[in-house]
Structure 1
Amino acid sequence: MMHTVPDGVEVVASRERARHLDSPPLLILDTVTGFLDEHGIGGGPLAWQRIGDGHSNVTYLIERGGESVVLRRGPRPPLPKSTHDMVREARIQQILHGHGVPVPEIIAVCEDEALLGVPFYLMGRLDGTVITDTVPAHLSPAGQRRATSEAVVDTLVALHRIDVTRGDLASLGRPEGYLRRQVERFRGLWEINTTRDLPAVDRIADWLARNLPASQAASVVHGDYRMGNLMFAPQAPAEVLAILDWEMATLGDPLADLGYLTATYSEAGSPPTPLELTEVTRSPGYLTQRQLAERYRSRTGLDLTALPWYQTLALWKAAIFCEAIHTRWQRGERPNDTVFGPSLETGVPRLLERAGRYASLAATTRR
């Protein structure tokens, strides 16, 4: 539901009102209105609605004078170094758009932190469906359920087939050494984002570092590739209109994306975790984790023997960025979060336990 008045906590009417809050707001309506004026977007008062399931970055639908845009920004500062970089995220999408990747249109980027406390960007609104806890009616028949999960894999395959040695794509990252850097970087993020001692973090990090697989290819790596970060067309057949949320994208090992997709994918009989963000795939008709992996393998020719290593990496990393959310909640930096933040007290250890199981599977597979 669109709102025309501020809620007084996350969204306030004016910069003057924001000065009187204990915690900085996420949206200041007069500031956003001025930015829209600068870029000739709509006219008159605006309406807003928070959208998406993101627990990290924040997204709002903004409507004004018959025009609709989407504003995306990071959480409240202070932010950990090299995270929530909205300027980089916008640039990545602009580059990928030029290579045929389905991404939203970037309309404007604000690098000035003085406006909302963090950089943000505006993108075009897409008329589509993001699948989370309910099955859209047009994608409900058994054939469309299968087609939906097949489209998830096929879109990932297409992303990974892009030649990353070409021009502007090469500026997105350095694929050599990607896996080692991931282990080192996230181990460091744990140390600065936790207030408790969970020995499994270092234990799994040591195992990952000792068992690094040899990367078979270099590709664009989305970093958070899952069904809930895809927008589907509003009518059958199942078709991906856009891949969303590019904050963690870089160049690296494509199996990192497949490991994350399969390790976080809900299927019948799998235990729930804090990353149960698209639970509908537990229902009949959707591909299983194993079928997703097999479809990917058949289309890329990559050897998936080491996939459990990548699944371990995925859940271990997920535990670390969920711990950062838990710590922010503990510090009172997520004042409206009454469910997700507190659930991570036990949710993070559950993710680490699942990661450990994949590590055991990987060790068994390599014998």
Structure 2
Amino acid sequence: MSDDVALTRADAQRMPHPPLLVIESLREYLSSVGLSGDLSWARIGDGHSNVTYGLDVGARRLVLRRGPRPPLPPTTHDMLREARVQRLLADAGVPVPRIVAVCDDESVLGVPFYLMERLDGVVVTDAVPAMSASDPAAIAWAAVDALADLHAVDVSQGELATLGRPDGYLSRQVSRFASLWPTVSRRSFVEVDRLAEGLATRVPTSARASVVHGDYRIGNLMLAPEAPVRVQAILDWEMATLGDPLADLGYFLATYAEPGAAVTPLELTPVTRGEGFPSRAQLAERYALRTGADLGALGWYRTLALFKAAVFCEAIYTRWCDGERPGDEFAPRLAEGVPLLLREAEREARGS
């Protein structure tokens, strides 16, 4: 049995850290929403913020998504909002998994969580999947096309219009992440203040508003298991809001691995360094052709992405130092990974 899973509530009380799953409580909840049968579970995904488990409940294949162990920073890991976002986007035709149930009763697992359908698909990380072996570039093209389609969704009316305040989005992003640093870090890097000041003094004018995913990368896409390559679902909507669509593009490109680029903690899909994949510049050009976007300030958006990544990676590192992420193999690497992100952000800023 994993240290993250307790079979009973009594077992959970004896564990040194709150478990991520309490099977006794989970079985009772599943039964209350009409889901019963033999239960099996396995942790899935490469996420380093929220936690995802695959569940088999009788003949049903589900995914459970919850926040990390408390204590949680304010306004983060809001599973109830994330589930609502996915339901609204599904109604708008965006490819997302169907939400099955939402639990706001923290007595079950210690935090709110939701259940969604589990799709049969492929998440690309370090190997080219069979259905695209003859054309690896199709993975990257499908990813950037799905991003363009997401940004084409009308957010001017209906419930989607309530997901955020697009006016002033970029300025708020800079100020928010700059203010977060002293609350999530016990380290000091001169680059933090320099980057925050430089970003704040050169905020571009947003051309339009769209849904912004906030963590759009190839590793958060599920591809259909058969050719031709297509995006079956966009995953991980924790940071979704309304804002400047180029913030998503900047983040997508900052996380996209290409030959010759520095290896940062954002590189969670290293396969794109291999032969046959397009460059970041080619992906940006395709996005511009699909959307008509002016990419003259793209360097600023990439700088913002790297700066934000440094802040949230530092938060992960600090929680690990505090013993709140036991067994985490990713967090220790952030001792050097965060300063690398800050240096890359400054390099990007100089280039732009």
Give the structure-1-normalised TM-score.
Answer: 0.95
Is residue 54 of structure 1 aligned with residue 44 of structure 2? no
Letter of the aligned partner of 1:202 in structure 2?
D
Q: Distance in 2 between matches of 1:302 and 1:340?
A: 35
Letter of the aligned partner of 2:302 in structure 1?
Q
Is residue 129 of structure 1 aligned with residue 119 of structure 2? no
Q: Distance in 2 between matches of 1:233 and 1:69?
A: 17
Equivalent position of 1:229 in the other structure: 220
Give the gaps of 5 or more residues in structure 2.
Answer: none
Q: CA deviation at 1:40?
A: 1.1
Equivalent position of 2:111 in the other structure: 118
SS in 2 for 1:36: helix
Give yes or no for contact 1:42–1:66 (8 Å, CA) kept in 2.
no
Moved more, 130-139 or 252-261: 130-139
Q: Distance in 1 between matches of 2:260 and 2:35?
A: 48
Give yes or no for contact 1:229–1:245 (8 Å, CA) kept in 2.
yes
Equivalent position of 1:70 in the other structure: 63
Equivalent position of 1:3 in the other structure: none
Counterparts in 2 of 1:63-102, with a 5 A limit?
A: 63-102=56-95
Q: CA deviation at 1:29?
A: 0.5
Give the gaps of 5 or more residues in structure 1.
Answer: 1-5, 363-367
Q: Distance in 2 between matches of 1:186 and 1:155?
A: 27
Counterparts in 2 of 1:312-351, with a 5 A limit?
A: 312-337=303-328, 339-351=329-341
Give yes or no for contact 2:154–2:210 (8 Å, CA) kept in 1.
yes
Counterparts in 2 of 1:36-51, with a 5 A limit?
A: 36-43=30-37, 45-51=38-44
Is residue 290 of structure 1 aligned with residue 284 of structure 2? no
Q: CA deviation at 1:42?
A: 3.1
CA deviations over 1:199-228 (Å, ceiling 9, x no partner): 211110010000000001100000000000
Letter of the aligned partner of 2:227 in structure 1?
A
CA deviations over 1:302-354 (Å, ceiling 9, x no partner): 110100000000000000000000001000111111x3111000000000000
Letter of the aligned partner of 1:289 in structure 2?
R
Counterparts in 2 of 1:164-179, with a 5 A limit?
A: 164-179=155-170
Equivalent position of 1:14 in the other structure: 8
Is residue 146 of structure 1 aligned with residue 140 of structure 2? no
Equivalent position of 2:236 in the other structure: 245
Equivalent position of 1:215 in the other structure: 206
Q: CA deviation at 1:295?
A: 0.2
Q: Distance in 1 between matches of 2:57 and 2:286?
A: 43
SS in 2 for 1:60: strand
SS in 1 for 2:102: strand
Equivalent position of 2:20 in the other structure: 26
Q: Distance in 2 between matches of 1:129 and 1:32?
A: 27
CA deviations over 1:167-187 (Å, ceiling 9, x no partner): 111110010000011011111
- Matched residues, percent identical? 59
Give yes or no for contact 2:40–2:55 (8 Å, CA) kept in 1.
yes
Is residue 361 of structure 1 aligned with residue 348 of structure 2? no
CA deviations over 1:144-174 (Å, ceiling 9, x no partner): x122111111100000011111211111001
SS in 1 for 2:14: coil
SS in 1 for 2:211: strand
Give yes or no for contact 2:51–2:66 (8 Å, CA) kept in 1.
yes
Give yes or no for contact 1:231–1:240 (8 Å, CA) kept in 2.
yes
Equivalent position of 2:193 in the other structure: 202
Equivalent position of 1:365 in the other structure: none
Give yes or no for contact 2:254–2:266 (8 Å, CA) kept in 1.
no
How many residues were matched structurally?
Answer: 352
Equivalent position of 2:247 in the other structure: 256
Q: Distance in 2 between matches of 1:325 and 1:317?
A: 13
Letter of the aligned partner of 1:225 in structure 2?
Y
Give yes or no for contact 2:40–2:57 (8 Å, CA) kept in 1.
yes
Q: Distance in 2 between matches of 1:22 and 1:187?
A: 34
Q: Distance in 2 between matches of 1:180 and 1:115?
A: 38
Equivalent position of 2:151 in the other structure: 160
Letter of the aligned partner of 1:115 in structure 2?
V
Q: Runs in 1 of length 4+ with deviation above 2 angstroms?
A: none
Q: CA deviation at 1:198?
A: 1.3
Moved more, 111-120 or 123-132: 111-120
SS in 2 for 1:19: helix
Give the structure-2-normalised TM-score.
Answer: 0.99
Give yes or no for contact 1:42–1:67 (8 Å, CA) kept in 2.
no
Q: Distance in 1 between matches of 2:12 and 2:232?
A: 37
